[in-house]
Structure 1
Amino acid sequence: MEDHTPTKRLHTTAGALAAEDLGLILPHEHLFVDFRPSDSPGFAQASPAEFSALITPLLTAAAGAGVTAIVECTPPGLGRRADLIREVSRATGVPVALATGVYREPWVPEWVYRASDRDLEEWMVRELTEGVDASAVPAGFIKISADEEGLRAVEERVLRAAARAAVRTGALVGTHTTGGAVVLRQLEIAVAEGLPPDRFLSIHTQTLHDDGVRRAILDQGAWIEFDDVGQGPDHVTVDLVLRTLEAGYGDRVLLSHDAGWFDPALPGGGAPRPFTHLTRTFLPALRAAGVDDPTIDDVCRHNPFRAFAR
């Protein structure tokens, strides 16, 4: 009997890519971010040539270190520039998956407060299926966030809209939230909206210092991400990875740098951190700690694809 099961693909600036098209994937990086208020002079503005001059070497070095795709996690409200990213991605040959969604206050775009819940959902679906802004590149996933002390009203509205949009499209919902109780509440709400737990990702999970909270997220079938590789002593994150693997959760953990990026508030875009520490330094440290190559391949290649593909 002929198999008509649709093939899952990662939606990127290089098109919708199948698993066999990709190797190691970095699931949390940034190429362009502007944390200033959106009414600041020059917000999210950059010369394409200046942006390319800073970011092209980063992507080229990443490819040279074995990276085959990057997930760019900047949502609207933080200066997302799909047009610039699309061009530098195509020039370097490094596929980049873009984010839709809404960050937390005070970076929530003003239009979000005026939009209906249905409008928010439909906007995310359009970005996931038709393209981000005028780039014609569909978003690869939905990025949301929440205050560490608890979900604010607009953040809960965004979460519910994101969950419904993800149910319709198969997209992953990733949340930048560093309070464990808040993450669990977000997961509870998302599941109540119909989202399968394996379509939910806890970003920056290294900030959740309670192993019990991490286990509670994983036990429900959701993903966790240690994305501070290269930001501090490697042995700290190596220990987190080892404990996660030893507990039997190796099929739901992701690794990345949360590095980059071009910052238009800084002269020349600033001095971004590279995307090479994982492959050149961190993975050798994991191997030295006893993690075998098939496991590393699962964590760095298969897991990101399974998480983000749809």
Structure 2
Amino acid sequence: MKIHMTKYLYTTLGPKRREELGIILPHEHVFVDLRVPDAPGYAQADTDAVVRLMAPQIEAIKAQGVTALVECTTCGVGRRADIDLAVSRATDLPIVVPTGNYREPWIPAWVAGATEEALEQWMVSELTGGIEDSGVVAGWIKVSAGDNGITPLEARILRAAARASVQTDAVIGSHTIRGKVAMEQLDILEAEGCSADRFISIHTQEEQDFGLHRALVDRGAWIEYDHVGRAPDDELLAMVTRAIEFELTHHLLLSHDLGWYDPAQPGGGVPRPYTHLLGNLMPLLKVAGVDEGSLRQITEANPFEAFARG
């Protein structure tokens, strides 16, 4: 007898079932600090100021039909689950916050000095009990690797992430520019018993060899084209339709990688909107003949399946 496990997307507004959600943006940022973690004033900001700047950006995508957003700011680049929660409550939009850590040199000293076992326990605790004292349960694991190859420290974090994923079913998304490096990361994950379908190759579009996009999907991984609104629409249209033509539809994620409040900038800077996917690219894809079912698969079903866990 086959047992069907209910899966949930773990958000700032609690766990959400598939039927509670529609369109999900799988790679955006509400708050980011790209200064290194020991920089003066790192990740510090007035919560109300962030809400004032970012709430209109969230309201704009809600008006388009977006029902949830995945925050991709992790430890090392200014993660603030408490701020994500405040923005989420102000706009009534669920936000999915990660555990994990970014790549070198954005790795805090305590992470660099921790054992794999300690890092694993930390990630599991955030995925099950919550992030610090925010009351937010982490929904997924965000890591990264150097552009030219994964370093020993990044590999240690990845192995810990793999073990945390096995325990919690949380997906691991990695900022990885080269497809070859993403394949090496999959080797590490699988050696730790983590299934390839719990891995998202973030920034897949940066890999120019489309054969590696297909190779990642053949292994079961998710690929993410997350430069919508930053690349020319004709380039995006060609990339997405090619992926659909080669039957990668059920493993494809689309997003902007935009936002955000930057505490290093006066007033948090000028955020870039998350509206281009639905306002520009989706209509172009429809004109190009992409059917409604495929578009719903990519923008609704895929993000939920990738980020939800049992």
Which range, TM-score by smaller chain?
A: over 0.9
Q: Which residue of 2 aligns with 1:243?
A: 242
Give the 3-state SS of the residue equivalent to 1:28 in structure 2: strand
- Structure 2 CA distance for partners of 1:40 and 1:197, relative to 1, 3 Å: same
- Preserved CA contact (<8 Å) 2:38 2:108: no
Q: 1:39: Cα distance to partner?
A: 2.2
Give the 3-state SS of the residue equivalent to 2:52 in structure 1: helix
Q: Which residue of 1 aligns with 2:167?
A: 168
Q: Which residue of 2 aligns with 1:143?
A: 142
Summarize the alignment of residues 206-221 of structure 1 with structure 2, pairs less than 5 Å apart.
206-221=205-220
Amino acid at match of 1:275: Y
Q: What is the CA–CA distance in structure 2 between the aligned matches of 1:214 and 1:238, rounded to whole Å?
A: 16
Give the 3-state SS of the residue equivalent to 2:181 in structure 1: helix
- Preserved CA contact (<8 Å) 1:45 1:264: yes
Q: 1:4: Cα distance to partner?
A: 6.3
* Percent of residue pairs identical: 52
Post-superposition Cα deviations, 1:133-177, rounded to whole Å, max 9, x if no partner, equal 211111111000010111111000001110110011000000101
Q: Which residue of 2 aligns with 1:53?
A: 52
What do you get for the CA RMSD once the two structures are aligned? 1.1
Amino acid at match of 1:11: Y
Q: Which residue of 2 aligns with 1:97?
A: 96
Q: What is the CA–CA distance in structure 1 between the aligned matches of 2:303 and 2:106, rounded to whole Å?
A: 27
Q: Which residue of 2 aligns with 1:197?
A: 196
Unaligned runs of 5+ in 2: none
Q: Which residue of 2 aligns with 1:286?
A: 285
Q: Which residue of 1 aligns with 2:67?
A: 68
Q: What is the CA–CA distance in structure 2 between the aligned matches of 1:37 and 1:198, rounded to whole Å?
A: 31
- Preserved CA contact (<8 Å) 2:37 2:107: no
Q: 1:229: Cα distance to partner?
A: 0.3
- Preserved CA contact (<8 Å) 2:225 2:252: yes
Q: Which residue of 1 aligns with 2:223?
A: 224
Unaligned runs of 5+ in 1: none
Post-superposition Cα deviations, 1:168-190, rounded to whole Å, max 9, x if no partner, equal 10000001010121111001110
Give the 3-state SS of the residue equivalent to 1:70 in structure 2: strand
Q: Which residue of 1 aligns with 2:294?
A: 295
Q: 1:6: Cα distance to partner?
A: 3.0
Give the 3-state SS of the residue equivalent to 1:76 in structure 2: coil
Instruction: Please report the TM-score for the alignment, with normalisation by the length of structure 1.
Output: 0.98
Q: Which residue of 1 aligns with 2:20?
A: 21
Q: Which residue of 2 aligns with 1:266?
A: 265
Q: Which residue of 2 aligns with 1:126?
A: 125
- Structure 2 CA distance for partners of 1:92 and 1:212, relative to 1, 3 Å: same
- Preserved CA contact (<8 Å) 1:200 1:223: yes
Q: Which residue of 2 aligns with 1:87?
A: 86
Q: 1:277: Cα distance to partner?
A: 0.8
Post-superposition Cα deviations, 1:3-62, rounded to whole Å, max 9, x if no partner, equal 964310000011000000000000000000001122222111111121111011011111
